[in-house]
A = this chain, B = another copy of it.
């Protein structure tokens, strides 16, 4: 096993105040004491599968090849939804088959079926500890994908809605507010290229200026830029745009082409 193979990341909605994450780490280190465990985040909004899918979709691209990503946002734990492993581009993704891997393009997916590599197959409430953590640890020790269970044809994919192009207007929405109160939209650089370089952005019908970077904007007014994940982002320099202007997840964002 090379050292890259032993990086295991964790993305959950377990928070930082309970023992869930610690128990997963203990299980992993009991099986592979050489595993390097990296927290992506444990502050996914509880049960928000789409948020988890976006976070792992973007951040996994920055980890070295061979990384094993465990994602546990799992309202259906204990039901008959399958536990799965997805191999994609040299990396591995371990979690429930509920859409958390919607932004990953699988090379091969298997159902975790045998109980050889898990603590408890019928784990009713905490498969993060009883199934996904030990499976990730055994993967990191070189157990082959085929050892965990049968290949499955497809895994569940949630349609994560992009903006609509109506005439010369993109109609999108706010999908996330970050720690700074910056407003992340579902409108990407690719979407923007459809309507050319001259456009005007509106959020909740308020006009939004444009800037290349944050400190280029005057404080106290709304501006936008394309952020580090390639999404249109609306901000207020050194302020929370969200709380200052009362903007939240789901609010409408419109981009109008200015040439007709």
Contacts and interface: CB of A to CB of B under 8 A. Distances in A.
Nearest to A129: B228
A29 B34 CA distance: 15
Given A33-B4, A123-B228, A26 B62 contact: yes
Interface residues of A, number: 67
A245 interface: no
A207 interface: no
Interface in A22-80: 22-23, 25-27, 29-30, 33-34, 36-44, 46-47, 55, 58-64, 67, 75-79
A18 to B, nearest CB: 5
Interface string A1-24: 001100101000111111101110
A124 interface: yes
A105 interface: no
Given A75-B238, A228-B129, A238-B75, A38 B22 contact: yes
A123 B227 CA distance: 10
A159 interface: no
Interface stretch (A143-151, A190-198, A210-218, A250-258): A210-218
Contacts of A228: 23, 123, 125-126, 129-130
**DSSP majority for the A interface?**
loop
A21 B16 CA distance: 14
Q: How many copies does the complex hold?
A: 3
B29 A17 contact: no
A179 interface: yes
Contact of A36 (B17, B29, B47, B123): B29
Contact of A78 (B29, B60, B215): B215
Determine which residue in A17, A33, A212, A237 has the highest number of CB atoms from chain B within 10 A of its CB, and name it.
Answer: A17
Contacts of A260: none
B18 A64 contact: no
A254 to B, nearest CB: 22
B14 A40 contact: no
A26 B63 contact: yes
17 contacts: A13-B180, A17-B43, A19-B40, A19-B59, A22-B39, A22-B62, A26-B38, A30-B64, A46-B180, A47-B238, A75-B214, A75-B215, A75-B237, A76-B214, A77-B215, A124-B213, A129-B228
